Chain A
Amino acid sequence: MGSPPILAVLAVIVAKALVVIVVLLTAFAYMTWLERRLISRFQVRIGPNRVGPFGLMQPLADGIKLFFKEDFVPAGADKVLYYLAPGLAMVTAFTAFAVIPFGPPDVQLFGVPLFQISNPNAGILFVLAVTSIGIYGIILGGWSSNSKYSLLGALRSSAQLISYELGVGLAIVGVVLLAGTLQLPEIVKEQSGFFFGFLPRWNIFVQPLGFLLLLIGATAETNRPPFDLPESEQELVAGFHTEYGGMKFAAFFVAEYVNVITASGVATTLFLGGWQGPFVDQFPILGPLWFVVKIFAFAFFFIWIRATLPRIRYDQLMDVGWKLLVPLALLNLAITSVIVLIWPSLGGGS
Chain B
Amino acid sequence: MGMNTNGNPVLTTTVEAFEKLINWGRANAVWPFQFGLACCAIEMMATASARFDLARFGAEMMRASPRQSDLMIVAGRVSQKMGPVLRYLYDQMLEPKWVIAMGDCSSCGGVYNNYAVIQGVDKIVPVDVYVAGCPPSPDNLLYGFMKLQEKIAKDHPLRSQKVLKELKTL
Contacts and interface: CB of A to CB of B under 8 A. Distances in A.
A and B touch in the complex (CB under 8 A): yes
Interface of A: 36, 40, 43-51, 55, 57-58, 60-70, 72, 233-234, 237-238, 241-246, 249
Contacts of A67: 25
Contacts of A47: 53, 55-56, 60
Contacts of A45: 49-50, 53, 55, 60
B58 A246 contact: no
A237 B62 CA distance: 11
A226 B55 CA distance: 22
Contacts of B60: 36, 40, 45, 47-48
A61 B95 contact: no
Interface string B81-103: 00000000000001110000000
A238 B55 contact: no
B149 to A, nearest CB: 9
A244 B58 contact: no
Interface SS majority for chain B? loop
Contacts of B61: 36
Given A45-B53, A46-B55, A69-B95, A242 B65 contact: yes
A228 B66 CA distance: 19
Given A43-B50, A50-B58, A245-B67, A72 B29 contact: no
B94 A61 contact: no
Contacts of A50: 28, 56-58
Given A63-B25, A64-B25, A72-B94, A238 B68 contact: yes
Contact of A65 (B26, B34, B55, B64): B26
A65 B70 contact: yes
Interface string B118-162: 000000000000000000000000000000000000000100000
Contacts of B70: 65
B22 interface: yes
Nearest to A63: B25
Interface SS majority for chain A? loop
Interface string B20-46: 011011111110001000000000000
B56 A46 contact: yes
Interface of B: 21-22, 24-30, 34, 49-50, 53, 55-58, 60-61, 63-65, 67-68, 70, 94-96, 157
A238 B22 contact: no
A62 B58 contact: yes
Contacts of B157: 68
Contact of A69 (B57, B64, B94): B94
11 contacts: A36-B60, A45-B50, A48-B55, A48-B57, A62-B58, A65-B26, A65-B30, A69-B95, A72-B94, A238-B63, A238-B65
**Most chain-A CB neighbours within 10 Å: which of B34, B57, B68?**
B68
A68 B22 contact: yes
Given A55-B58, A72-B67, A64 B53 contact: no
Contact of A61 (B25, B34, B68): B25
Given A43-B49, A242-B67, A244-B68, A49 B56 contact: yes
Given A64-B26, A238-B65, A58 B58 contact: yes
A62 B29 contact: yes
B29 A65 contact: yes
A238 B95 CA distance: 19
Contacts of A237: 64-65
A72 B61 CA distance: 21
Contacts of B50: 43-45
**Most chain-A CB neighbours within 10 Å: which of B50, B58, B61?**
B58
B56 A68 contact: no
